[in-house]
Amino acid sequence: MSHDHGHRHGTAARNLGIAFALNLVFTLLEVGGGLWTNSIAILSDALHDGGDCLSLGIAWYLHRLSQRDPDVRFTYGYRRFSSLGALITGGVLLVGLSFVGWSALRRLGNPEEVKVPGMMAMAVLGIVMNGAAAWVLSGGKSLNEQIAIWHLLEDTLGWAAVLIGSAVMLVWHLPIIDPLLALGISVFIIWNVFRNLSKVVFVFLQSTPHGFDTEEFQRQLATIPGIVSAHHTHLWTLDGERHVFSTHLVMHSQSTRAEIVAMKRQVHELLHTQDFEHITVEVELEGEMCAADTHHHDDHDHPAQE
């Protein structure tokens, strides 16, 4: 499994690097195109693409960093650095898009002329470039790749909207369509950024891995011979892909070493279909005081002094 994860990490880093390069080239073209056409819709998407570029660049770097082995400072490794990048750039995007939305609202009252043929040319280029970058990341398993591909798909859809809007303006003189498109793109992207950021936030809040049925696992755990009860069972994810599991299992007081070893093997087998990198099973015999509970009681008996 570690070899598979290493190959997956290398592929993800390469794909993010390619997507970053494509996005960087297009963002620079887009800024020039937005100024040339005087289109707030194109400039708003250029800001978003700039945020995406930053996000992809950080994701690319941190994906490479996340392959470092654990050390004394980060004993679980560097996996969460990639999620941190997604969290930071998501926040930057929200701030930038809020500014764009405010600028578009101001233009609604005083629409300005735009160069429609230039808008159409930029829209076609945007669909091609963003579509190519999204295709490179298609099939990615990491949280970084999944968030990045949503950004790129949103870009592609946004450019499709610009293409349709510019085609309408080519027939009818309706410059107000430009700020309306900017507002629509901003609202759509903000909604998706919030949705994608929630996944990253849940990683940092140490939620149960997505798709893991905790109640079903507890039922399966209870069927293992020798187990009387379970407590202090915790599951969380390091980066949305690799997970951590720990539990305290109480076994019959007469359990033998062989029975304890067999029980641990069955617990590992229950988790083998999931990407759990760290599995810790604390075994207690009936009548034995749980060390964690003892520590908890000691904290209450000796409260910290102000």
pLDDT in tens, 107-138: 777 765 667 787 788 888 888 988 888 888 77
**Alpha-carbon gap, residue 142 to 41, rounded angstroms:** 31
Nearest to 259 by CA among 286, 283, 231: 283
Give the pLDDT score at 302: 47
Amino acid at 203: V
Contact 48, 189 (CB under 8 A): yes
**Alpha-carbon gap, residue 8 to 240, rounded angstroms:** 14
Nearest to 144 by CA among 53, 51, 239, 210: 239
Give the pLDDT score at 1: 45
Contact 180, 161 (CB under 8 A): no
**Alpha-carbon gap, residue 91 to 54, rounded angstroms:** 12
Residue intervals in the chain for CATH 3.30.70.1350: 214-301
Per-residue pLDDT of the chain (306 residues; tens, 9 = 90+): 444 444 445 577 777 778 788 888 888 887 887 788 777 767 766 776 777 777 778 777 877 787 788 888 888 888 788 778 778 777 777 776 777 777 777 777 776 566 778 778 888 888 898 888 888 877 666 666 766 776 677 677 777 777 887 788 778 777 777 677 778 777 877 787 787 788 888 888 888 888 888 888 888 888 888 888 888 889 988 877 788 999 999 998 888 999 999 999 999 988 887 778 889 899 999 888 877 665 555 554 544 444
> How far from 197 is each of 25, 93, 120, 218, CA to CA, in Å?
26, 11, 32, 29
Give the pLDDT score at 143: 64
Give the pLDDT score at 140: 65
Express each pLDDT in 215-233 by its tens digit: 888 888 888 888 888 888 8
Class of domain 214-301: alpha beta
* Percent of the chain clearing pLDDT 70 (strictly above): 82
Contact 161, 42 (CB under 8 A): no
SS3 state of residue 139:
coil
Nearest to 48 by CA among 83, 87, 13, 98: 98
> How far from 167 is each of 114, 125, 174, CA to CA, in Å?
12, 15, 11
Contact 13, 63 (CB under 8 A): yes
**Alpha-carbon gap, residue 47 to 31, rounded angstroms:** 8
- Output the CA angle 173-175-179, nearest 5 degrees: 155
SS3 state of residue 138:
coil
**Alpha-carbon gap, residue 50 to 68, rounded angstroms:** 28
**Alpha-carbon gap, residue 233 to 249, rounded angstroms:** 9
Give the pLDDT score at 7: 45
Give the pLDDT score at 102: 78
pTM above 0.85, yes or no: no
> What is the bridge-based pairing of β-strands 243-251 and 276-285?
parallel
**Alpha-carbon gap, residue 26 to 46, rounded angstroms:** 9
- Counting Cβ atoms within 10 Å, is residue 69 exposed (0-12), middle (13-18) or buried (19+)? exposed
What does residue 252 show for φ and ψ, rounded to 5 degrees?
A: -55, 145
Give the pLDDT score at 260: 92
Domain 2-204 fold is: Alpha-lytic protease prodomain-like (1.20.1510)
**Alpha-carbon gap, residue 129 to 28, rounded angstroms:** 12
Amino acid at 75: T
Scanning 70-213, the segments in alpha helix (DSSP H) are 80-108, 116-137, 143-171, 177-204
Residue intervals in the chain for CATH 1.20.1510.10: 2-204
